[in-house]
Amino acid sequence: MPGVCSMTFQISDLCDLLAEYLDPSQVAEIYRAYLFGAEAHEGQRRRSGEPYIFHPLEVARILAMMRLDHHSIAAALLHDVIEDTGTTKEQLAAEFGQQVSELVDGVSKLTQIRFESRAEAQAENFRKMLMAMIRDIRVILIKLADRLHNMRTLSAMPPEKRRLIAHETLEIFAPIAQRLGINDIRLELEDLGFAALYPLRHRVLADRVRKARRDRSATTEKIETAIHQRLTEEGMAGRVVGREKHLYSIYQKMRSKGFAFANVRDLYAFRVMVDRVDTCYRALGVVHNLYRPVPGRFKDYIAMPKANGYQSLHTTVIGPHGAHLEIQIRTEDMARVADVGIAAHWLYKSGEIAANHAEKKVRAWLRGLLEIQRSAGNPAEFLEHMKIDLFPDEVYVFTPKGRIMELPRGSTPVDFAYAVHTNVGNQCVSAKIDHQFAPLRTPLMSGQQVEIIVSQVAQPNPNWLNFVVTAKARSNICHYLKNLKQDEASTLGRRMLEKAVGDLSLTMSDIPPGGMAAMAKELHLESEDMLLASIGLGKRPSVLVARRLTQGIVRCEVPIVSQEAPFQPLIIRGTEGMVVTYGKCCRPIPGDPIMGFISTGRGIVVHTSTCKTVASYRNHPERWVDVTWEEGIEKLFSVEIKVAVLNRRGVLATIATNIADFESNIENINMEDRDGQSSTLHFTLLVRDRTHLARIMRRVRSFPEVLRISRMRR
């Protein structure tokens, strides 16, 4: 029975490893968990052919190397029993306690629920795991160890499955490991994922690195010796370790910068480990005295740690033969945190600064995750927001009171506002960067001071979604706009239903009490408001809903004589927000004869009656709705005009100034050259109505440089 001997050796080897830092009673409890798991998985084999219990044992070994507590190790040995055997969560709780059962349940997939697609299942399982992680961070540590061993044994899977798992690993699990600061696991996941997803590229790059290693090994030893010797001369004890950058990091650099392998100059990095923080800064001076630093390539992650708690000094210097060398200087404690991240919580005694700092950073990130989850409409949306949040390359900016805020690179003042507080983001109207007003879409740079100007009546702008980069900002904007759209759709739906009922010579008061609630329930909608919103968004024709609600009601045989005659058009007020939009093909403005087209999910799209788009929709008369403008609309509407002008100095400025004099804003200007003598200017203006536009066009036409002016319709 070779399998039994191998298993006995593995569990005894694991127990020896655990005995180095756990009490004998805790090791005994872990051994009991192993026996329970082995019995539960009896007869099951992995695709590679080995007994299934091998996998939980290896997961436990990975966590034992990280020095995790006995509950985590026991949960690792049992992490698949709920998912793959008949064991229940309640049984685990009875045998090993609530902590272990909650950890196992957090790692287990949702196998009892049927999903419509693999993507939906992945999103929901990922959401479940992260919610469990927020309750107990050890859930994700077990899952990362589980994924690491699966990646180590990925060759047993068919090629298509290998690629799917590798893609998921690189897209989700490696970034999570990086976010938690677990560098050892992150590096191995990335290289294993790279090898599985792009085997040829991995093989070619590995060969090139192997050849370069032979050429540079002597140089690497020389640099290590030189730095160590100079530290000793200055009375500083420390270790210097040269390491080769891992393949996936090199590949990413080649891909992002378009480099050939020969142009990648920093294949090696050097770590200098010293005893105290002040020694780190002294060691930096030694390194800069030994090798010339590259300007702009110094980063102080000790004073301003990364989001995952990582601390170190980074500098790039010019070494022998002109090669660029990346040198990282940190304390031994920082080095341990850099390798195992949040798991350092279990390596340090209570109160140790480095571990607590990493844990605080991760806890803050987890609180942000919880807010994103609450704002997300569904698991797939949550997963998309999470993917955005998993790739932070930080910038550090300051609040007016001097507080440091960490944000992903490319963040804007809107991202900053939401990082301060959700309400600050929702009420943001403008921003000052270094005491100067700046557009809200301006990318922030490290060292800037940012001040947000808010207004109690402000609300998020849908255009912000075009430039925000943080998941928190994006999810909160989407959540706010979704609720706003729902309210607007409900209001429009009621107006459309009132019109449809009026066309039947009835009023809303004729609908039987409880009729709308009953219909909403029949259609599996949560409330009357949801029924009205579905009408406003064009998902249910108002005419059909009106007929259903008024079935059996005796209509008045005598025509109703009143101001509210049947078939009265729906009035467009210009304040309907996101549920009434205006066709960009014709850009209707008050005074134009208009038609409305019901678009599923968007509400009503308004076109001019002469728009070419109208003709293409004639085959769908059931989706048209008669609409008309309300009198005295105050809203401004976009319209495009085309102006042919002679090429004269200052003509554009003259036209733009006169347009502004008529209380119109210019949204956009484009220019195209016709010939050397004339040009065509395309203006997008904001006007109140046709009369307002006509006055502007008459004024512009009066200039001698203007050859022609016309309103544009596509």
Most confident of 159-168, 300-309, 551-560: 159-168
Position 387 pLDDT exceeds 70:
no
CATH topology of domain 398-469: Ubiquitin-like (UB roll) (3.10.20)
Q: How confident is the model at residue 327 (pLDDT cuts 50, 70, 90)?
A: very high
| Residue 115 clears pLDDT 50, i.e. is over it | no
Structure tokens of 4? 């039994």
d(CA 671, CA 4): 80
Cα separation, 213 vs 290, whole angstroms: 24
* Range 329-333, long-range pairs (CB < 8 A, 24+ positions): 329/271, 329/272, 329/274, 329/280, 329/283, 329/284, 329/287, 330/271, 330/272, 330/273, 330/274, 330/280, 330/302, 331/273, 331/274, 331/275, 331/276, 331/277, 331/279, 331/280, 332/273, 332/274, 332/275
Mean per-residue pLDDT for 33-61?
89
Tokens of residue 363, six digits: 């806890």
The token pair that represents 541 in the structure block: 């024709």
CA-CA distance, 317 to 283, in Å (whole number)? 14
Beta bridge partners of 292: 318
Average pLDDT over residues 427-442: 87
Place of tokens 């009621």: 494
Mean pLDDT of the chain: 80
Quick: pLDDT tens for 170-224. Answer: 888 888 888 777 888 888 999 999 999 999 998 988 888 887 766 666 778 888 8
Q: Which residue has the tokens 């700092």?
A: 357
Cα dist from 329 to 285, 295, 631, whole Å: 11, 18, 71
CATH node for 637-711:
3.30.70.260
- From residue 702, how far is each of 662, 666, 679 by CA, in Å? 14, 19, 17
Percent above pLDDT 70 for the chain: 81
Residue with the two structure tokens 């049992």: 78
Give the per-residue pLDDT at 604.
81
φ, ψ for residue 43, nearest 5 deg: 90, -15
Report the relative pairing of strands 624-625 and 627-629 from DSSP bridges: unpaired
pLDDT at position 512 is: 82
Tracing tokens 């390359």 back to the chain, one arrives at 393
The pLDDT of residue 266: 65
More confident residue, 442 or 446: 442
Q: Above 70 in pLDDT, residue 92?
A: yes
For residue 550, give Cα distances in angstroms to 464, 491, 513, 554: 43, 20, 11, 9
Per-residue pLDDT, 563: 44
HEC sequence for 38-106? HHHCCCCECCCCCECCHHHHHHHHHHHHCCCCHHHHHHHHCCCHHHHCCCCHHHHHHHHCHHHHHHHHH
Short-list 586, 564, 580, CA closest to 501:
564
> What pLDDT was estimated at residue 415?
92
pLDDT in the model for residue 151: 93
pLDDT at position 350:
36
pLDDT at 651: 87
Report d(CA 529, CA 520) in Å as an integer.
9
Residue 99 CA to residue 94 CA, distance in Å, equals 11
**Among the residues of 234-352, which ranges form H helices?**
247-257, 277-290, 332-340
Residue 113 above 60 pLDDT?
Answer: no
Q: Is the pLDDT of residue 494 over 80?
A: yes
- Give Cα 99 distance to the centre of its chain: 31
HSE on the CB side for 683, CA within 13 Å? 26
CA pseudo-torsion sign 175, 474, 606, 701: negative
Rounded-to-integer distance, Cα 668 and Cα 646, Å: 20
Q: What is the pLDDT of residues 548-576, one digit of tens each?
A: 787 766 554 444 434 444 456 777 877 66
Phi-psi region of 453 (alpha: psi -120 to 50; beta: other; left: phi over 0): beta
- Alpha-carbon dihedral angle through residues 606, 608, 611, 614, given to the nearest 10 degrees: 50
The domain spans of the chain are 2-152, 206-344, 398-469, 470-568, 637-711
Residues whose CB is less than 8 angstroms from the CB of residue 532 and which lie 6 or more positions away in sequence, other chains included? 489, 490, 491, 493, 494, 497
Residue whose pair of structure tokens reads 């940012």 in the numeric block: 450
pLDDT score recorded for residue 36: 93
Active-site residues, by number, are 83-84
**What whole-number distance in Å separates Cα of residue 602 and Cα of residue 577?**
11
- Do residues 427 and 342 touch, judged by C-beta distance below 8 A? no
For the cut 80, the answer to whether the pLDDT of residue 540 exceeds it is: no
Cα 384 from Cα 389, distance rounded (Å):
9
Return the structure tokens found at 90.
């309640």
Q: What is the mean pLDDT of residues 412-427?
A: 91
For 2-152, CATH number out of 3.40.50.1820, 3.40.50.150, 1.10.3210.10, 3.40.50.170 equals 1.10.3210.10
Q: Residue 243 CA to chain centroid, in angstroms?
A: 32
Closest listed residue to residue 315, CA positions, set 332, 337, 291: 291
Class of 206-344 in CATH: alpha beta
- What is the average pLDDT across 154-160? 88
**What's the pLDDT at 583?**
86
